[in-house]
Structure 1
Amino acid sequence: MLSERPRLESVNEPLTAKPAAEQTKADESRHQHELHALIDLTAALGASTDIDISLRVLLERMVWSFGAVGGECRLLATPDDSNLLAQHGLDPGDEATALRRAAVRELSEHAFRRREPLYLGDLTDTAHRARRELMRSTGFRALLFVPLLNEQEPLGMLTLYYREPREFSADERDLLFAIGKQLGANIVRSRLYEAERGRADTLHRSYTLLVSLSHAVANLQDLTSADEWFRRLLKELLRRRLHSALLVPDPDESSWRLRGISLQPSTLQLIEKYLGFDLLTTRLRVEQVPRLLPTIRAGTPLVLSNVPLIAHHWLPQVPQRQLDHVLLLAGFVRQRERPLVLLPLRIDGNIEGLLLLWGGHIKREDLPAFTVFAHHIANALRALRLREQVDLAHERLRRLTTQVMTIQEEERARISRELHDEAGQALTALKIELSLLAHELPAESPTVQQRMRETLSQVDDLLAAIRRMAHEMHPPALETLGLSATLEGYCEMFGQRTRISLDYQAESPRDLSPSASIALYRILQEALTNVARHAEATHVEVALTCDDHSLTLSVQDDGRGFDAQQQAGGLGLAGMRERIDAIGGWLQVESELDVGTTLTVHVPLPSERNDG
């Protein structure tokens, strides 16, 4: 306890009281002032977390306040050894330092045992050879040893050296005891602070690394190919000063092959020259590295420090000299430990690959960040695989839709031909027969002649309806007159039938495939049918335009409009989108209530599709 007054003793016997020298009142006042200043300094340094600065400042003040020649402070490394932290006014040479360490070793044992400061007033009166040698080499006659304690646990020592013996007052002895305990508490607090700061630095480093790696994965979210995804990932990691390589397993996981590596092609060629084989085609046996395959199967990230030994296990056929050159080219320096991080990539329980990472700034403490990074990669690959499956399903659906539409068009063409050739011809023959029969009717039978004329008129209407149906089911004009003329003819027929004002404008379009032409014709049919059934429009504008890249068909009416979001799948729009998707185009619908609707279809021209 600070209230307890420790005794300053020599190693061999307690200090005896000696007559104090005559001092002036001014000297006593000055010395008291120095002690109070030392007390204030000790209390102020108690709040410091930098123990090195605390010890240097306090040691310098203690040497001055207690009239010593010099002093030093050591922290215990082991029970039998200590490390020098600070010194003042002493010879820093190795020989002098070793002499002082040997001289105070036995004294420290006594001080730590008694838990109080010790003073050796006469080095000549000792059987300790190291102390006599210290006095002979340095001229020191006395030394003061202050143990640095924390809850009576020895942490280190503070030693002051004197050329002449001196005495210590009761206040000085109390102060020395308090300084030892205060410095001990400072040391513990500094160690705790350093430990917490180390953990905080590790967390900050891991967080920064994880954010950087997460951004690397986020930059790849728009890619749809797994090969391109991995290639870009290696580039993104290289931008972050991380070399990387990707190994993928064979189906039985007995051997692995290199799928990609971030080294320059020239460096890779030089490495393959030393190895004597092509890295991208050679199979590597993972089981040759002890405990590696179970770790990979468990999906646990691993940090390997002895990379040369791992390389020797993996490539036992390569001589050690060549292997050293390979590791040097890859970025592994023998003089510095550069860990190799192995990240197993598992998706839904299956091993998809092994990502190897190395670089000068990787540390073993980064393993948690790399573990989370491995999960990010797995999630990204899972999303990529789902996207590929969706794209594949969409492509299959598009092909199926195209096949269905092709079959529909073929069936419509067949029915159109049968209506035109068989039903049309049969009705034409019927009309001729009825006309001949009408001429044979007696003039005195006006009622029968009127009924015949009505029958002929019905036959004409039926013949016109069949021709219109045949034309709508498959317009032969598409093959003979082209898309623009066919659309224009259909618009005229629509205006005559519905009594809706319609304007048609067209530019001369480039040649389209038959599937694109029939798709645009069907879309116009459906769009105008919607206008007649639902829009209540009085005027429609149809435009066919084209440029170097695409052809555009637009249908605009002044009808009552609708909510395009709520009816996105109705009014035949779903069928239109299926048709336009099948030919690689896209559909846009804009509508406003009581204003009207505009439907726009864009179709890429053949040259653009071929170039893409």
Structure 2
Amino acid sequence: MNYEPTQIFFIVLSGIVLMLLMSGFIIVMVLLHRQQQLRNRQKMDNLRAEYEKTMLKVEKEIQDQTLSFIGQELHDNLGQILSLAKLTLNSPDEENYSEGKRLINHAIKEVRSLSKRLNLDWVKEVSLLDFISGELQKIENFGFCKTQFETDVEPIELDLDKKLVLIRIIQECLNNIMKHAEPSVIYISLAQKKDSLSITVKDDGKGFDVDDKSKGMGLHNLKSRIETIGGKLILSSIIGIGTEIKLLLPFE
């Protein structure tokens, strides 16, 4: 088949135009892909920065609470032990001397225990189950209200960061209950499935309107914190009935 020069020109021109269109399409796709990569990288950087910010804030809050606890222990517990030891040792009675030595040894143990809490070593050593039991026991010791703790969970190993966040969230939930709920019972339960850990904090107090914006900031902070470690918070509350907060943390 013989082509006229004009036909050959149009065929070549069409080929060039098609090649330019293909090249332009490829360039556009490459640019879009790079933009998506940049957006993804920026998103990951933002998530990492938010995670680090949350962890620093959580560590500071736990340290502040620990210092407050230590101050109270020094005043109420250790101070009394040392005062009693002083009074005992001032007596010439040999039995009192032995009792004084026992009290001093007890005071030394208390100081060592408190020194560990000045950093976050206690968080590494304590299990989540023991922490929850201890917090509820303190509430009962204060005479605030009754508590219940139920779990079918075997002792679990959690990353320190995840444990820190969970500890702080549970502390915040309990603090909010004691400040606002006026309950007769605080109930905490742990359940473990194949792929997740469920922690439920519930009370039979006053309850509140979950749509009340004045109470939204504290809830938002709790949700943000659990989300930084890949978890989820579910809240339900009925005025006059009580409040339930469920924390869901997936296992890797």
Structure 2 length normalisation: TM-score?
0.66
Choose which of 47, 51, 58 in structure 2 pairs with 1:398.
51
Distance 1:494 1:549 in 2: 31
What residue is the counterpart of 1:497 in the other structure?
142
1:434 maps to 2:141: no
What residue is the counterpart of 1:354 in the other structure?
28
Could you report, residue by residue, the CA deviation over 1:391-415 in whole angstroms, capped at 9, with x for unpaired residues? Answer: 54243122222234345546766x4
What residue is the counterpart of 2:158 in the other structure?
512
Q: Whose radius of gyration is greater, 1 or 2?
A: 1
Q: Give the counterpart letter for 2:81 in structure 1.
A: T
SS at match of 2:209: coil
Q: How many aligned positions are there?
A: 220
Quick one: structure 1 residues 503 and 475, their matched pair in 2 at CA, closer, same or farther if it must change by over 3 Å?
A: farther
Do 1:545 and 1:552's aligned partners in 2 also have CA atoms closer than 8 Å?
A: yes
Q: Give the counterpart letter for 1:546 in structure 2.
A: Q
Q: How big is the shift at 1:429?
A: 2.6
SS at match of 2:136: helix
Distance 1:509 1:393 in 2: 34
What is the percentage of aligned positions where both structures have the same residue? 20
Could you report, residue by residue, the CA deviation over 1:262-295 in whole angstroms, capped at 9, with x for unpaired residues? Answer: xxxxxxxxxxxxxxxxxxxxxxxxxxxxxxxxxx
Q: Give the counterpart letter for 1:429 in structure 2.
A: L
Distance 2:40 2:212 in 1: 27
Quick one: structure 1 residues 407 and 493, their matched pair in 2 at CA, closer, same or farther if it must change by over 3 Å?
A: closer
Do 1:501 and 1:538's aligned partners in 2 also have CA atoms closer than 8 Å?
A: yes
Residues 497-576 of structure 1 aligned to structure 2 (within 5 Å):
497-506=142-151, 507-567=153-213, 569-570=216-217, 572-576=218-222
Quick one: structure 1 residues 585 and 355, their matched pair in 2 at CA, closer, same or farther if it must change by over 3 Å?
A: closer
1:308 maps to 2:15: yes
Q: How big is the shift at 1:584?
A: 2.1
Q: Give the counterpart letter for 1:395 in structure 2.
A: R
Distance 1:524 1:471 in 2: 21
1:601 maps to 2:247: yes
Q: How big is the shift at 1:563?
A: 1.9
Which protein has the bigger helix share? 2
Quick one: structure 1 residues 503 and 519, their matched pair in 2 at CA, closer, same or farther if it must change by over 3 Å?
A: same
Q: How big is the shift at 1:599?
A: 0.4
Distance 2:115 2:224 in 1: 24
SS at match of 1:577: helix
Quick one: structure 1 residues 548 and 407, their matched pair in 2 at CA, closer, same or farther if it must change by over 3 Å?
A: same
Quick one: structure 1 residues 470 and 522, their matched pair in 2 at CA, closer, same or farther if it must change by over 3 Å?
A: farther
Cα-Cα RMSD: 4.4
Q: How big is the shift at 1:598?
A: 0.6
Greater RCO between the two (CA within 8 Å, min separation 6)?
2
Quick one: structure 1 residues 562 and 420, their matched pair in 2 at CA, closer, same or farther if it must change by over 3 Å?
A: closer
Q: Which runs of 5+ in 1 are unaligned?
A: 1-303, 315-339, 346-352, 357-376, 441-465
Could you report, residue by residue, the CA deviation over 1:214-257 in whole angstroms, capped at 9, with x for unpaired residues? Answer: xxxxxxxxxxxxxxxxxxxxxxxxxxxxxxxxxxxxxxxxxxxx
Distance 2:178 2:230 in 1: 28
SS at match of 1:544: strand
Structure 1 length normalisation: TM-score?
0.30
Distance 2:36 2:192 in 1: 38
Could you report, residue by residue, the CA deviation over 1:457-511 in whole angstroms, capped at 9, with x for unpaired residues? Answer: xxxxxxxxx9xx9999879765445221221122122123143121100222421
Do 1:556 and 1:598's aligned partners in 2 also have CA atoms closer than 8 Å?
A: yes
Quick one: structure 1 residues 563 and 382, their matched pair in 2 at CA, closer, same or farther if it must change by over 3 Å?
A: farther
Could you report, residue by residue, the CA deviation over 1:549-604 in whole angstroms, capped at 9, with x for unpaired residues? Answer: 1111111111121122334534x434423432332212111112222111011122
Q: How big is the shift at 1:385?
A: 6.7
Distance 2:144 2:228 in 1: 33
Do 2:147 and 2:187's aligned partners in 1 also have CA atoms closer than 8 Å?
A: yes
Distance 2:119 2:149 in 1: 21
